[in-house]
Amino acid sequence: MTQRFAEDGKVIPLTVIKAGPCVVVQRKTEERDGYDAVQLGFVEAGRKYKANKPTEKHFKNAGVAPCRVLREFALGDGDAPEVGASIKVSVFAASDQVQVSGVSKGKGFAGVMKRHGFGGGKATHGSMHHRGPGSIGQSAYPSRVMKGMRAPGHMGQDRVTVKNLEVVEVIEDEDLLLVRGAIPGANGTYVEIIKTRSAKGQDDA
C-alpha cells in the first residue's frame, strides 16, 4: 500500500496492483459447458511455468504460453473475447468501481476475542474469566453445543471479497492499477478484480 495527497490536502490510501496482462485460454459456452465464462491466465514476466503434458496441451490449443495462475470469470451481455486475446489493464479506467477477491492473511490459532471480537470478562483481580468465551451451551437440554457456535480456532486464510473500491489511476505502461483502500491478502498474493460499476453508475460485467 501507499498513499497520495489530494488537491484539498486529504490523504488517499492506495493499493498498487499488478493487473495483467492476461490471456484468454479457454471460452466456456452455454451449449457445451452449461454456462458462459472465460478462462484467463496471468502472464508473469520473467517466470516460466513448466506444465505437465495435459496442461501443456490445453495451452497449446489456445496458442498461448503456459501460465501458472488460471481463473474463470463469468461473462455479461458484452462481446466475449476470443481465445488467445490479451486482456490488459486498459479495460479499467479512473473512477470505475471494482471488487477484489483474494485469500486473507493467515493468523494461526486465535481465541474468541481476536477471532470474533468478543468483549471478554471483567479485567479486575479475582475475575478468573478474562478472555474466555463464556457459556457455550445448556446444562440440561439439549445438553450439547449447538452448531455455529463461535469458538477459538484457525483465523484467516479465508476467501474475502472487498466491494466498491474506486480506481484512482491506471498506469498502462507498467500494467498497474491503483485502487482506493485495502484489499485482502499479503504482498505478492494473487487476487481477482471485477469491474462492477462504471463511472456513470451503470452496471458492467
pLDDT tens for 146-176 read: 999 999 999 999 999 999 999 999 999 999 9
- Range in 111-115, 118-122, 197-201 the model is least confident about: 197-201
Beta strands in the chain (DSSP E): 2-5, 11-18, 22-28, 37-42, 69-74, 86-87, 97-103, 106-110, 153-156, 159-171, 176-180, 192-197
DSSP code of residue 147? T
Query: Model's pTM, two decimal places?
Result: 0.81
Q: Is residue 75 part of a domain?
A: yes
Q: Do residues 106 and 63 both lie within one domain?
A: no
Q: What is the pLDDT of residue 133?
A: 93
- Domain boundary, last residue among 50, 72, 87: 87
CA dihedral angle for residue 100, residue 103, residue 104, residue 107, rounded to 10 degrees: 180
CB 78 within 8 A of CB 52: no
Q: What is the pLDDT of residue 103?
A: 95
Q: Is residue 191 part of a domain?
A: yes
Q: Is the pLDDT of residue 203 over 90?
A: no
Q: Is the pLDDT of residue 121 over 60?
A: yes
Q: Do residues 2 and 48 both lie within one domain?
A: no
The sign one gets for the Cα dihedral 110, 116, 117, 122 is negative
The residue to which cell 496442461 is assigned? 55
Provide the domain limits for residue 38.
21-87
Mean pLDDT for all residues in the chain: 89
pLDDT more than 90, % of the chain: 65
For range 133-154, the mean pLDDT: 92
Using CA atoms, how far residue 101 sits from 55, 78, 136, 195, in Å, is 25, 22, 33, 12
- Our count of domains for the chain comes to 2
